[in-house]
Amino acid sequence: MSGIWGRKIKLSIFGESHGKAIGITIDGLPPGFELDLDFIKKELNRRAPGKNFFSTSRAEEDEFEILSGFFKGRTTGTPFCAVIKNKNTRSEDYEQGLIRPGHADYTGYIRYGGFNDYRGGGHFSGRLTAPLVFAGAVAKQLLGSKDIIIGSHIKSIGGIEDEAFDMVEIDLAKLEKLDRDFPVLDQRKGEKMKEAILSVR
């Protein structure tokens, strides 16, 4: 499995769920771009589990450290690398050869011949979404500097559909309201979606 994506800007994720750290290298960022680190923290906090009733109760801190490509608040243009240390791990809960339904344990075992780190899903863990969110927060700022705004919402859950965006006239006020734990345009539909989730827990 390749952990590298992109052409002009290349992303490379690394690490395992129960290793010392996970992280990302971003190659191709323009030099001199001022990054808002507080915005990156805010985006990572949205991803972190344990923030609401509908996510896993396991608490993880996503405190990042920038290792390279950043100086005096701006990108240098050289490879930008950031790591997030793993803290809340319980490796004893995982046994080699025990395949969990709905996870990538089997495919990881086959792909790497049994040499993969299976603890917590290893490189295939949902924990690896943290460096991807980090990269997304950087990309949002780059795009924002060109007046390009990115937004998304929950389209449907259990047959309950949220209202749709107007694909021609995007309402920026609606986009800004989506910055919450359960991003829907119609709050009434959102409550019904939550009920649908609770009914199958």
Q: Please write the tens of the pLDDT for every residue from 171-201.
A: 888 887 776 778 999 999 999 999 999 998 7
Confidence of residue 97 (pLDDT cuts 50, 70, 90): low
Confidence of residue 125 (pLDDT cuts 50, 70, 90): confident
Rounded-to-integer distance, Cα 112 and Cα 55, Å: 30
Residue type, 90: R
Confidence of residue 138 (pLDDT cuts 50, 70, 90): very high
* Yes or no: domain 4-149 corresponds to CATH 3.30.160.20: no
Exposure of 12 in the CB half-sphere (CA atoms within 13 A): 10
Domain with CATH 3.60.150.10 in the chain: 4-149
Q: Mean of the pLDDT values across residues 121-149?
A: 89
pTM of the model: 0.80
Confidence of residue 169 (pLDDT cuts 50, 70, 90): confident
Q: What kind and span of H or E run contains 133?
A: helix 129-144
Listed in sequence order, the DSSP H helices in the chain are 37-47, 105-111, 129-144, 172-177, 187-199
